[in-house]
Structure 1
Amino acid sequence: MYIFIVIFIIIFIVAFCAILKCKRFAAIQVKRCGLNMLFLLLALVMGLRGISVGVDTENYGNIFNSIAKVSLDDIFSGFFYDSLEVGFVLYAKLISMIWNDYQFFLLVSAFLFCYLFKRFIEHSTNNYFIASVIFISVGIYLSAFNIYRQMLAVALLSNAWICFRDKHYTAVILITLLALTFHVSAFLFIIVYVIYALRNEKRIMKLIPLMLILLYGVFDLLLGKITLYLSHYNNYLDNHKTLQEANTVMILWFIVVSLSLFFIYRPKSDSFAIFVGSMTLMYIFMNIIGLQFNYFERLGLYFSPFLIILFCNLSDIIKNRYIKDILFIGLVTCFLTYFILSTSSEQYIYVSSVTDYL
C-alpha cells in the first residue's frame, strides 16, 4: 500500500477541516493556521523520508557525505566543486558542521523549501486551500524529493519575484544571485522579471503565445547556440533524440493552456492576470520542448509557481457562490486524483527513516 497517499489524506483532514466551516470574521486567521499546519506536516513528510523515497535521495546522501569531508578552502576554490555550484556545496557543508547526519540535512532542507513556498503562497493569494492543492499536485512538491538543488533555486526565486513585485530591488538582486549559486540555470528567471516589467504593454503581452509558437519552430537552432555558452550544462540541454512520454499529464497541459489563453485574451483581464497567463504558457512550452530534449522540462519548473496563482485567479473571478463551490470541489478532486496517480510509482512507496530508530 502506498502509505504516501494515506499521509496526505490525513494532512488535508487535519489541516483544513476547520477552514470549511470557519466564520467570515475569523477566516484569514483560520486559513493561516491551517496553512502553517499543512506546511509543517509537508516538511516533516519530506524531511523524515527514507533514502528509497525519491530517485535522487540516496545520491544526495552520497554527495552530502562527500561534502562533509571537504575543507572550506577547497569549496571556495571555484564556482563549481565536483560539478556542483558553490552555494549548494557551502550550504551542505554548513549543515554538516552543525550535525553531520544526512537525515538532519533532509529535515533542514525540507523545512527551508516548504517555508519558502508557504511564504510565496501567503504573499500571492488569499485562497490558501486551492494554492496548497496546486503546490502539492502539479509536481512542485514532489520535484523537491529528487532535484532539490534546482527546486530550492525555484523556491528562492518565487520569493524574489514577490520582492520584485513590491519594488524591493536590492532583495531581488541578492536572492537571485543566491539562487544562481545553487543552480546556474536560475538565470532563466530573468524572463519573469522582463515580462513582468512589460505587463502593462497589453499588445506585446498578447503576442507572447504567437512568439512561443515561432520559438518552437526555430528551437533546434537556438539550442545549439545556447549550449556554446553553457558548456557546463551540455548534458542537461543535450538532444538525445528520444521522445519522452507525457501520458495523462497532457490533460493538465490542456487545462493550463486553455486557462492561460483565456486570461491573456479575456477583455476584462488586468495586466497581472495576463502576466500570469504568459508565465504558465512558458511552463507548458518548456515541458513540450522536454518531450524531445531530455531534462529540458526541468527549466519549466522556474515558471511553475505561477500555476498556483493561475488557478487561484480562476476561483477569484467567479462570483456566484454555488459555481465557486462546484469549482472548488472539482479542482480539489481532480488535482488530488492527479497527485495519487503521480505517486503510484515505486519511488514513492513511502518509507520513513523514523522506523530505523524504533
Structure 2
Amino acid sequence: MEYIYYIILSIVIILSFAIKNTNSKILLILLIVTLSLFSGLRNIDVGTDTLNYYNIINNIKNGVYSPNVEYGFIVYSKIILTIFDNPTYVFLITALIINSCIITRFYLSGSKKTFPIACIWYYTFLFPQSCNIMRQYLAAAIVFLFTIFLERKSYRIFIIAVLAATTIHLSAIISLLLIPINILFSRDFKRREKKKLAIVLLLAIPIIAIYVSFSVEHYKSYLLSSANNKIGVLNIIRLAIAFFYIITNQSNFTHIKHCGFCKVKNSNLVPITLCYVIGIVFTSFGYYFTTMARLGLLYMFFEPIFVSEVSTFSKNRNLYRILYSILYIMYFILNVGSGWSGLSNYSFI
C-alpha cells in the first residue's frame, strides 16, 4: 500500500494551502487529525521501532517496567491504558499530541504565507521519524510548541515544559540551550542582564555535568560507533545553504533589531538559523555515532520554519526556492522513494 504515503502528502498540500488562504481552524484540526490517524493507526511492521514500542506498552500494561524507559512515559502510558485498556490508543493519542504541537507551532510562527512550505517540509523530512522514535518525538514536540513562550519571554513556563518533557525522554534537557540563544541575540535584554545569564550558565555547568554523569549509562547507545563515517551529501547541502544565508545577511547577525522566534515582520531569522545549524551538526554526528542524530531532533524542527521563511521573505528568495527544490527532490529520491521513511510500505493496524 505504498500509495497511501503519497495520498497523505497530497492531502497535506491541499489542506495547508487551504489554511493559508482561509485561515480556517477547522481545516487546521483536519490536517492534524489526518496526520495523527496516519501515524497513530500504523501496523506493528510499519517503521523500524513500532513493534518494540508495542512490547514496551504491553509490558507497562502488565506492570513490567523497562529501566530504559523514563518514568514520565510510564505514567503517561498507564493513564491512557487505564482509560482505554488498549495499546493502540497510546500510539494514537501520542500521534495526536505530536502533530498538534508541531503543526500548531508552524501556525503560530507568523505569516500564514509560510505555513504550506513548513507543513510539506515537515511531512517529508521529519514526520516519518515520529513512527520510530515515538517517545523522544513526543518530548521534542512538546518543547517545540512551548518555544512560543520564549518569544513572549515567559522563560519559567518554557523551563517547566522542558522539565516535564525530560521525564518522557531525557534528551529534552538539551532544549534549555534555546534560552541563552534567544536572550544573547536579543536587544530586549541589556548587557548587565546578559552578564547575569552568563554567570547563571557557568554555575549550572557543574550541576549539568553531575546529571549527565549519572545518565551516561542510560544512554550509552548514543555513543556507539556507526558503520558509516561520511557526513552525508544532504547535510552538506543543508549546511551550505544555511551558511550562504548567514554570509549574505550579515547585517541580521551584527545589527540585531529583534531576535524573538519567528518574527516575520522584522524578517529576522537569527535564532532560528542558529538552532537549525545546531540541528544539522547533531544530525551529521549520527553518521559517526549510531543514534547521536536524535539529540538534534528538536533543533531540526526549526528547519521547516527556516526553509519557508527564507523561501518566502528573503531578498534572495528565488535562489532559495531553487536550492530547496533541488534538495527536496534529492531527498525524495534517495530516502522516501527508496522506502527509508518506513512509511512507503504502509498498512493500518
Moved more, 185-194 or 289-298: 289-298
Distance in 1 of aligned mates of 2:271 and 2:168: 27
After superposition, the C-alpha distances for 1:73-96 in whole angstroms (9 at most, x for unaligned) are: x87xxxxx5221111111111111
| Residue of structure 2 aligned with 1:182, choices 146, 168, 173 | 168
Q: 1:182 aligns to what SS in structure 2?
A: coil
Match of residue 61 from structure 2: 68
Alignment CA distance shift 1:45-1:241 (3 Å): closer
Distance in 2 of aligned mates of 1:241 and 1:43: 32
Match of residue 348 from structure 1: 343
Q: Tell me how far 1:128 sits from its aligned partner.
A: 1.0
User: After superposition, where does 1:1-358 map in structure 2 within 5 Å?
Assistant: 2-12=2-12, 14-16=14-16, 18=18, 27-30=21-24, 32-70=25-63, 81-126=66-111, 127-139=114-126, 141-200=127-186, 228-240=213-225, 242-245=227-230, 247-250=232-235, 251-263=237-249, 270-272=257-259, 273-318=269-314, 331=324, 335=328, 338-339=331-332, 341-343=334-336, 344-345=338-339, 347-353=342-348
Distance in 2 of aligned mates of 1:330 and 1:226: 42
Q: 2:225 aligns to what SS in structure 1?
A: coil
Match of residue 202 from structure 2: none
Instruction: Give the RMSD, CA atoms, in angstroms.
Output: 3.2
Distance in 1 of aligned mates of 2:80 and 2:246: 41
Distance in 2 of aligned mates of 1:52 and 1:325: 41
Alignment CA distance shift 1:29-1:99 (3 Å): same
Q: Tell me how far 1:334 sits from its aligned partner.
A: 5.1
Q: Tell me how far 1:304 sits from its aligned partner.
A: 1.2
Contact 2:43 2:347 in 1 (8 A): yes
After superposition, the C-alpha distances for 1:68-127 in whole angstroms (9 at most, x for unaligned) are: 111xxx87xxxxx52211111111111111112222221111111100112211221322
Distance in 2 of aligned mates of 1:149 and 1:190: 19
Q: Tell me how far 1:261 sits from its aligned partner.
A: 4.8
Moved more, 300-309 or 269-278: 269-278
Distance in 2 of aligned mates of 1:234 and 1:17: 41
Q: 2:131 aligns to what SS in structure 1?
A: coil
Distance in 2 of aligned mates of 1:260 and 1:91: 41
Q: What letter is aligned with 1:29? A: N
Aligned length: 315
After superposition, the C-alpha distances for 1:328-348 in whole angstroms (9 at most, x for unaligned) are: 687568536624642322733
Q: TM-score, normalised by structure 1?
A: 0.76
Moved more, 141-150 or 8-17: 8-17
Distance in 1 of aligned mates of 2:230 and 2:339: 15
Q: TM-score, normalised by structure 2?
A: 0.78
Distance in 1 of aligned mates of 2:323 and 2:91: 34
Contact 1:280 1:303 in 2 (8 A): yes
Distance in 1 of aligned mates of 2:181 and 2:92: 35
Distance in 2 of aligned mates of 1:234 and 1:128: 35
Q: Tell me how far 1:294 sits from its aligned partner.
A: 2.1
After superposition, the C-alpha distances for 1:261-289 in whole angstroms (9 at most, x for unaligned) are: 54456577744222211111111221222
Distance in 2 of aligned mates of 1:154 and 1:189: 8
Distance in 1 of aligned mates of 2:230 and 2:2: 23
Contact 1:227 1:237 in 2 (8 A): no
Q: Tell me how far 1:149 sits from its aligned partner.
A: 1.0
Contact 1:130 1:328 in 2 (8 A): no
Distance in 2 of aligned mates of 1:287 and 1:277: 15
Distance in 1 of aligned mates of 2:307 and 2:158: 25
